[in-house]
Amino acid sequence: MKEFFKVTELARVLETVSVFPGVGVEDIPLVEAAGRILAENVVADSNLPEFPRSTMDGYAVRATSTFGATEGNPAYLTVKGAVAMGQSPKFAIAPGEACRMPTGGELPKGADSVVMIEHIEALDDTTIEVYRSVAPGQHVLEIGEDFQQQETILSGGQKLRPQETGLLAAFGRETVRVYKTPVIGIISTGDEVVSIDATPAPGQIRDINSYTLSGQVLKAGGIPVSYGIVRDDYAALSEKCRQALDCSDMVLLSGGSSVGTRDFTIEVISDLPDSSILAHGISISPGKPTILARTQNKAVWGLPGHVVSAMIVFKMVVQPFIEHIAGVTAGSSQLSKISARLNRNVSSAQGRTDFIRVRLIRKNGELRADPVLGKSGLINTMVKADGLIEIDINTEGLDEGSVVEVIPF
Amino acid sequence: MKEFFKVTELARVLETVSVFPGVGVEDIPLVEAAGRILAENVVADSNLPEFPRSTMDGYAVRATSTFGATEGNPAYLTVKGAVAMGQSPKFAIAPGEACRMPTGGELPKGADSVVMIEHIEALDDTTIEVYRSVAPGQHVLEIGEDFQQQETILSGGQKLRPQETGLLAAFGRETVRVYKTPVIGIISTGDEVVSIDATPAPGQIRDINSYTLSGQVLKAGGIPVSYGIVRDDYAALSEKCRQALDCSDMVLLSGGSSVGTRDFTIEVISDLPDSSILAHGISISPGKPTILARTQNKAVWGLPGHVVSAMIVFKMVVQPFIEHIAGVTAGSSQLSKISARLNRNVSSAQGRTDFIRVRLIRKNGELRADPVLGKSGLINTMVKADGLIEIDINTEGLDEGSVVEVIPF
């Protein structure tokens, strides 16, 4: 049996992520920042809230004025006035006094708590009966209770979810520094591949990988730019690679997985200016023929032509590199895995990392991972599947009933 | 204790989703379809693949010609030629014959399988030795093996992931019919709320909800349109609601959760043309004061002003309505829940549905859901949290160690 290339272990390949520089930063309006990766540490320039706020409708009081109050033995308080929303009260509350308080309003000086409207009765315009005691601080957001001035509220590398953009709004951050969105060039190769607007002649197929990979780049937080289809021709592919490299932060080639064209893809990538091959073959299945090069400090990938292999290699190998150059700090993806129980035995070869497509199904109220078997040229297996499970290099398969972590896609 | 409004059970509120019509459909280019919701059933207009394709580099043969072949007793086959990528072979393979076959190439007539290049030795230009037998169909994608002509390949209501756009590309679908993206109008209300470019005077706070809700709308597959901040004024709010309704498929008001302004928000919503209140108060915590109206066949929501309450109501109540009008068929969201073990006891009141913010942490290799406690005015609790757990209306709390399903946000 011939050995076509010396494969590199997946973990070794993933370590090389650190040789690639990030894409740089830009300042953008907060309204456009949802989903972007923060590129600065943000420090609170004030307390949040800046004044004590009521969390209920009711009356602001000194808590001591209500101590011991019950329905049978209410406290009688003198109403000093009413706080209006958005205005700072001009009066103070003394023992035995209260003032009408809307949710979100500022507590007057002297008041330290709020009695809910449900627990008082107004006797007349200036007197209320209070039926329950409150503790100091009750139904109040204290100054700085959400965030204290000088506190670091967000750190670079975080993805800005809706709550983080809201937090930046609270501190009046009209613009925010984020990592640029990496631009990923995508090239399909192969004499058999035609554009989707063409009717394939016998022996030809339409270009699928440009669409699947573009969608994956978008989901991974990149901007896909398709450079179309290149025939299996050294000069044409080399020229297209240079074009894509000039305008992209990373380049994905797909196709060329047959022995002849594979040799020729590696030759084209090797011959690009300032290019070195980091991996030529990875010990994963599917996806073994994958090529990774560092070209002008950018990652250039030669992905398999089979649609399933290309998608799986993208998800498990390429995506961490995109996240790295996009400034994402590690760790978050771990939380998106879904635990499920394997629905049948799955075999795997030792010495390589296997990725198994699975469908998630509910069975007796329990989540099951049901392997979707099928050749890596069959896109229907990806359409049926909800995610992947990984069988590591030292494991020889998994038994039915094992708990597995499903990586959704 | 006063009862301010009669609350509706969450399940009852969610049932009303069906009264709202969908947003309609549009035809868009496939390149823009990633992440959109398919609005047609797609039928295969041909087989995929349309010709038998090799999945390996090797030699196409009749399997019978290799039966019994071993290293010690190889089969000798006559090489008939080579198949070129993208071209239909003009010759046929008879018993005892073989032809050079690239991965992805079309098998010639008469061939039914492929011997891998690793399992042959070329003796000269016209003869190979085969060391292993292959079965009929081995290393071949048969005609229609991925999808058969006339088969329904995708159904309306599905979200188009990368693999689904790839599948549509395979069938040459340059345009695809999808549901329109719903436009969601967002209005912040409250005399205390100022724009994020303003420095809040004492008693004022910046508008957070416009940012958190816009981000949530985006994540839910809608287009957020912010109508800014309206003071607590009947005429101004009514006018702004009409504006937003004219240009949106749904309207979200937030704020106005204090008793006076709440009454006035419900009055404004009730008085809009062709408006009926479906819920005024929902038995959930946080989020009880939520209002839902059906106005000109569109959902108009009155969300609480507290940032946490508004976000949780959006996620658990509003989002299913957005997905419904956007054409999403039910079921998929179930799969995004993450099982974890509760890290401590959580109490809850019977008779209402409680949503608890949790952080996901790994402890002894196991995923734990760690409750993030704190008032619903504190955005830091949402920044710390990874998701929510739901404690249903008939449960009085959950014990440490219980397995819970975390809804990520």
Please report the pLDDT score of residue A3 as a whole number: 44
CB B66 within 8 A of CB B130: yes
Interface of B with A in 329-368 (CB under 8 A): 334-339, 360, 362, 367
Which of the four pLDDT bands, split at 50, 70 and 90, describes residue A331?
Answer: low
Inter-chain residue contact B196 with A172, CB threshold 8 Å: yes
Inter-chain residue contact B104 with A257, CB threshold 8 Å: yes
Count how many Cα atoms sit within 13 Å of the Cα of residue A279 in the half-sphere of its side chain: 28
d(CA B37, CA B130): 50
Q: Is B110 on the interface with A (CB under 8 A)?
A: no
Count how many Cα atoms sit within 13 Å of the Cα of residue A99 in the half-sphere of its side chain: 24
Q: Which residues, including other chains, have CB under 8 Å from residue B352's CB and lie 6 or more apart?
A: B7, B283, B284, B285, B288, B393
Which chain A residues have a beta carbon less than 8 Å from that of B1?
118-119
Inter-chain residue contact A141 with B173, CB threshold 8 Å: no
Please report the pLDDT score of residue B1 as a whole number: 35
For residue B27, give the nearest of B42, B13, B43, B15 by alpha carbon: B42
Q: What is the rounded average pLDDT of the residues A60-79?
A: 96
Inter-chain residue contact B213 with A375, CB threshold 8 Å: no
Tell me which of A47, A48, A50, A85 to substitute to probe the interface with B (most B C-beta atoms closer than 10 Å).
Answer: A85
Alpha-carbon torsion (A266, A267, A273, A275), positive or negative: positive
Closest partner residue to B212 (CB to CB) among A105, A163, A214 is A163
Instruction: Name the percent of chain A lying above pLDDT 70.
Output: 96
CA distance A303 to chain B (A): 14
- Conformation bin of residue B148: beta by default, left when phi > 0, alpha when psi is -120 to 50: beta
Residue A403's Cβ-count burial label (10 Å; 0-12, 13-18, 19+) is exposed
Please report the pLDDT score of residue A334 as a whole number: 53
Residue A1 reports pLDDT greater than 70: no
d(CA A180, CA A178): 6
CB A251 within 8 A of CB A243: no
Amino acid at A91: F
d(CA A262, CA B165): 26
Angle formed at CA B14 by CA B8 and CA B16, multiple of 5 degrees = 90
Which of the four pLDDT bands, split at 50, 70 and 90, describes residue A2?
Answer: very low
Closest partner residue to A307 (CB to CB) among B166, B193, B377 is B166
- Conformation bin of residue B311: beta by default, left when phi > 0, alpha when psi is -120 to 50: alpha
Cα distances from B344 to residues B308, B354, B358, B368, B403, in angstroms, run 21, 16, 11, 10, 11
For residue A231, give the nearest of A208, A200, A212, A255 by alpha carbon: A255
Which of the four pLDDT bands, split at 50, 70 and 90, describes residue A75?
Answer: very high
Inter-chain residue contact A211 with B409, CB threshold 8 Å: no
Inter-chain residue contact B190 with A104, CB threshold 8 Å: yes
CA distance B162 to chain A (A): 4
> φ, ψ for residue B314 (rounded to 5)?
-55, -55
Inter-chain residue contact A162 with B257, CB threshold 8 Å: no
Please report the pLDDT score of residue A313 as a whole number: 98
CB A194 within 8 A of CB A207: yes
Q: Which residue of B has its CA nearest to A140?
A: B375
Other beta carbons within 10 angstroms of residue B236's beta carbon come to 13
Instruction: Name the percent of chain B lying above pLDDT 90.
Output: 88
CA distance A99 to chain B (A): 15
Which chain A residues have a beta carbon less than 8 Å from that of B208?
166-167, 169-170
Residue ranges of domains in chain A, CATH in brackets:
10-23+180-330 (3.40.980.10), 25-48+145-179 (3.90.105.10), 53-141 (2.170.190.11), 333-408 (2.40.340.10)
d(CA B80, CA A87): 91
Instruction: Name the percent of chain A lying above pLDDT 90.
Output: 88
Please report the pLDDT score of residue B2 as a whole number: 40
Q: Is A106 on the interface with B (CB under 8 A)?
A: yes
Strand-pair partners of B118: none
Only one residue has tokens 């098998």, namely: B107
Please report the pLDDT score of residue A396 as a whole number: 87
Supply A296's token pair: 């002008």
Q: Which residue of A has its CA nearest to B153?
A: A380
d(CA B90, CA B187): 68
Closest partner residue to B203 (CB to CB) among A88, A146, A209 is A88
Q: Is B164 on the interface with A (CB under 8 A)?
A: yes
Q: Is A172 on the interface with B (CB under 8 A)?
A: yes
Per-residue DSSP letter, B18? G
Mind listing the pLDDT tens digit of every residue in chain B (409 residues)? Answer: 344 568 999 999 999 999 999 999 999 999 999 999 999 999 999 999 999 999 999 999 999 999 999 999 999 999 999 999 999 999 999 999 999 999 999 999 999 999 999 999 999 999 999 999 999 999 999 999 999 999 999 999 999 999 999 999 999 999 999 999 999 999 999 999 999 999 999 999 999 999 999 999 999 999 999 999 999 899 999 999 999 999 999 999 998 666 666 678 999 999 999 999 999 999 999 999 999 999 999 999 999 999 999 999 999 999 999 999 999 986 555 567 888 999 999 998 888 999 999 999 988 888 899 999 999 899 999 999 999 999 999 888 899 999 999 999 8
Cα distances from B392 to residues A244, A363, B10, B344, in angstroms, run 53, 22, 10, 18
Q: Which residue of A has its CA nearest to B225?
A: A31
Inter-chain residue contact A334 with B191, CB threshold 8 Å: no
Q: Which residues, including other chains, have CB under 8 Å from residue A3's CB and lie 6 or more apart?
A: none
Only one residue has tokens 């756009």, namely: B165
Q: Which string of DSSP letters, residue by residue, matches A109-124?
A: BT--EEEEGGGEEEEE
Which of the four pLDDT bands, split at 50, 70 and 90, describes residue A272?
Answer: very high
Q: Is A406 on the interface with B (CB under 8 A)?
A: no
Cα distances from B133 to residues A259, A350, B59, B114, B136, in angstroms, run 21, 25, 12, 10, 10
Q: Is B210 on the interface with A (CB under 8 A)?
A: yes
Q: Is A90 on the interface with B (CB under 8 A)?
A: no
What does the pLDDT look like over A15-54, one tens digit per residue? 999 999 999 999 999 999 999 999 999 999 999 999 999 9
Cα distances from B313 to residues A149, B100, B184, in angstroms, run 29, 63, 15
**SS3 state of residue A175:** strand
- Conformation bin of residue B281: beta by default, left when phi > 0, alpha when psi is -120 to 50: left
Which chain A residues have a beta carbon less than 8 Å from that of B169?
196, 206-208, 210-212
Q: Is B1 on the interface with A (CB under 8 A)?
A: yes
Alpha-carbon torsion (A284, A287, A289, A291), positive or negative: negative
d(CA B6, CA B288): 10
Q: Whole-structure pTM over 0.90, yes or no?
A: yes
- Sheet strands (E) in A232-352: 250-254, 275-280, 284-285, 291-295, 298-303, 338-342, 346-347
Q: Which residue of A has its CA nearest to B49?
A: A205
Q: Which residue of A has its CA nearest to B314?
A: A162
Residue A264 reports pLDDT greater than 90: no
Residue A202's Cβ-count burial label (10 Å; 0-12, 13-18, 19+) is exposed
Inter-chain residue contact A208 with B167, CB threshold 8 Å: yes
SS (H, E, C) B266-335: HHHHHHCCCEEEEEECECEECCCCCEEEEECCEEEEEECCCHHHHHHHHHHHHHHHHHHHCCCCCCHHHH
